[in-house]
Amino acid sequence: MRGSWRRAKGSGKTSHYFRWIFLQSSEGAQLVEFALVLPLFLALVVGIFDFGQAYNLKQKLNNAAREGARFAIEESCADCTQAAPATTQAIENSIVNYLANAGVNLCGLTGTTTPTVGPLPFASWTFTSPQQCTGTGAKFTIQIDRGVTFVSSTGATVEASHVIVNSPYAWSFNRIIGFLVPGANYAAVTTLSSDATMKNLP
């Protein structure tokens, strides 16, 4: 009886020891699994946030370009032979106001920024931010062309106004991709561009 009790007692200690080993190995396996899954999870979260931000900015640029084109077709072009016509400045100002109200970083671009001008008459005017957008190395630009022509479905030549809005976007995803694939690189900066063309009113 005493020997049996000792064996039972010893087997209990052995069972407890193996149970402890099993728990320790399970915890270690969980840590390894967590370490493997964490980078993928971070990449997924950052990717969703990043592309969501870019899509949101793109939509705002689309709306701003359409807003500028609508404003442009209602403006007279009597002063379009000037280097910096007041009508074109008013168009740019309407775009800037829309984007500012939408919370878009214009990188110092204002409604009074002096444009660079192309060949006259009916030149295209480009308004460029005075400073680079943070973390992009690029500038915000708005291009306005009052003399675009295209052929309609009826064969008639139509004169229109064309507005292009360009905004550099710095991707946060580039900081994560290197952890997943060493040496891999994702384009850190992309220029998001939106444009709108509308027929000039008589």
Question: pLDDT in tens for each of the 202 residues of the chain?
Answer: 444 444 444 455 555 555 555 555 555 566 666 666 766 777 777 778 888 999 999 999 999 999 999 999 998 888 888 878 899 999 999 999 999 999 999 999 998 888 888 765 567 899 999 999 988 899 999 999 988 888 888 888 888 999 999 999 988 777 666 666 666 666 688 999 999 999 988 7
Look at residue 80 in the predicted model and tell me its pLDDT: 82
Look at residue 1 in the predicted model and tell me its pLDDT: 47
Look at residue 7 in the predicted model and tell me its pLDDT: 47
Domain boundaries, the chain: 2-199
Whether this prediction's pTM lies above 0.85 is answered by: no
Look at residue 68 in the predicted model and tell me its pLDDT: 96
Look at residue 2 in the predicted model and tell me its pLDDT: 47
Dist CA 63 CA 67 (whole Å)? 6
* Maximum distance among all Cα pairs of the chain, rounded to whole angstroms: 116
Q: Which residue has the tokens 């971070």?
A: 42
